[in-house]
Structure 1
Amino acid sequence: MITVDGLTKSFTARDGTSVRALSDVGLDVAENEFLTVLGPSGCGKTTLLRAIAGLVPWDEGDILVDGVPVRGPGPDRSMVFQNFALLPWATVLDNVAFGLRVRGVGRAERTERARALLTTVGLADCAAKLPGELSGGMQQRVGIARALAVRPRVLLMDEPFGAVDEQTRRLLQEELLSLWEEQRLTVVFITHSMEEAVLLGDRVALMSACPGRIAEIVPVGLPRPRARDVGGVARSGEYGELTGYLWERLRAMHAEHRPERAAS
């Protein structure tokens, strides 16, 4: 479904020097797969996701979605951001319908589709409210509904639950699992949480420190569906082993790139 081949990306820092964010990244994501991406802070996870979305250019390599080269944003891909990115002056209903409006979908159809998705994410009673009247978790539900409204084949999620409290995060994880189990989209989900990466993913793509590369692909053999018993999954021995393994790998990466302490 998604093929990333030899992706390399550099930025120009404020002092004018070139900083390589990604180096020769290779990654394949199967159709209907839920892939989570984990790595040290600053390893290029978000840059990789934005490149797949067609939101940033890159220096070398190719990105294909269903065999078609990515040249920019497209209707086959939809993105959910950590900071919600909602229109503060628009109602919840209009926020969900925004992408449909941009694509020229008629008012009646986009309203019907938006209301159906608000019901799906448990916000049917909030259609007329403004985003500022909602909690962070509710705002992220709106963001997910908006992303799903355009019926993408690929859902790209950039640490979407990073800005909410732990209880809300767990509820959103359960809801996302339920939505994915119903719709079976192809999902690429960026996270800094080992627990979240294992709980949600079919596989975990572990990235190395900057410049980012795919250091390892870790299969997650936990049974599905998981939404009905997230607590049971989190208590399983395999879950503990996988999260422990990922932590050891991340800790080793941090140690390799930690500046040596000056001699006293």
Structure 2
Amino acid sequence: MTASPIKERQSVERQERIIEIRGVSKTFRGRHGDVHALRDVDLDIYANEFITVLGPSGCGKTTLLRLIAGLTKPDGGEVTLGGKRITGPGPDRSMVFQDFALMPWATVLTNVAFGLQVRGVAKSERQDRAMEYVRMVGLESFARSYPHELSGGMQQRVGIARALAVDPTVLLLDEPFSALDEQTRRLLQEQLLQMWEAQRKTVVFVTHSIEEAVLLGDRVVLMSARPGRVGRAVPVSLSRPRFESVDSPEGSEEFMAVTRDLWQSLRAQAAEAVETSV
């Protein structure tokens, strides 16, 4: 009998907690009343772990990411990194946005070097380091090009290179591939995993796709409908690289078992949300 691909994390206390989220709540105030994005969120994220965050629209996934980035402050609770409370952005965290967020007037190389410039790195050094990451994402021949001259997938590679160039401890990605076609998405998923396996950053990756969450994540964090809470944190024990194992009959069966389990949880949460709103 094939072992279940879903199992509890073993000896979790022996692993280094790098991010601790305790009792975090966040409410946004708008013209039409308060929006309770998150309520009493608790989550531990471990060093070098690739976490994917999954949940329905409006459940606070992006808000959670922005709290870790220090771009948003919680109304209650706290988020710590390495035991220190996060009170704002810092050089230990980089974020990749869904809409690329590139400077349109700057070349690929200048975009990638921007974070290094902000940190006061000398021009010659930051150009060398930026070019290293431009090469890493396969855009060396486009280093002098501008964002409007690139495809969407190429622009997102620039965003990833810019985030990695500052050598952060934690890489935060907010649905970075959602606007891309399936082929480009798959290529960038593979490329991101290759870079993660080489550098072993701690990665928190928000997605709407169950399949993407399972392909990429060491654990899949399931968020409930708004106000968002952590419903489950599901370890995924499928061997890597998963793109290859999923193509085999046994690998595909295990992969589908995980996705079915996650879908059942999401469906149950959706049904509960409908019942409580009636």
TM-score by shorter chain over 0.5: yes
Asked if 1 retains the 8 angstrom alpha-carbon contact of 2:246 and 2:255, the reply is: no
Tell me the alpha carbon deviations over residues 175-221 of structure 1, each in whole angstroms, 9 at most, x when there is no partner.
00100000000000000000000000000000000000000011100
Find out whether 1:232 has 2:247 as its counterpart: yes
Map 1:107-256; keep pairs closer than 5 Å: 107-226=123-242, 229=244, 231-232=246-247, 235-256=251-272
Asked if 2 retains the 8 angstrom alpha-carbon contact of 1:22 and 1:212, the reply is: yes
Asked if 2 retains the 8 angstrom alpha-carbon contact of 1:181 and 1:225, the reply is: no
Find out whether 1:60 has 2:42 as its counterpart: no
Deviation at 1:5, TM superposition (A): 0.4
Correspondence for 2:20? 3
Percent identical residues: 62
Bigger CA drift: 243-252 or 62-71? Answer: 243-252
What TM-score comes out, normalization by structure 2 length? 0.90
Deviation at 1:230, TM superposition (A): 6.5
What TM-score comes out, normalization by structure 1 length? 0.94
How many residue pairs are counted as aligned between the two chains?
A: 260
What secondary structure sits across from 1:105 in the alignment?
coil
Extract unaligned runs of 5+ from structure 1: none
Find out whether 1:94 has 2:94 as its counterpart: no
Indicate the RMSD between aligned Cα atoms, in angstroms.
1.8
Q: 1:82 aligns with which of 81, 84, 98?
A: 98
Correspondence for 2:88? 72
What secondary structure sits across from 2:128 in the alignment?
helix
Deviation at 1:232, TM superposition (A): 3.1
Query: Structure 2 CA distance, aligned partners of 1:110 and 1:201?
Result: 31
Asked if 2 retains the 8 angstrom alpha-carbon contact of 1:38 and 1:192, the reply is: yes
Query: Structure 2 CA distance, aligned partners of 1:242 and 1:32?
Result: 22
Extract unaligned runs of 5+ from structure 2: 1-17
Deviation at 1:135, TM superposition (A): 0.3
Deviation at 1:9, TM superposition (A): 0.5
CA 1:233–1:136 in 2, change beyond 3 Å: closer, same or farther?
farther
CA 1:105–1:13 in 2, change beyond 3 Å: closer, same or farther?
same
Asked if 2 retains the 8 angstrom alpha-carbon contact of 1:78 and 1:156, the reply is: yes
Deviation at 1:231, TM superposition (A): 5.0
Query: Structure 2 CA distance, aligned partners of 1:79 and 1:150?
Result: 11
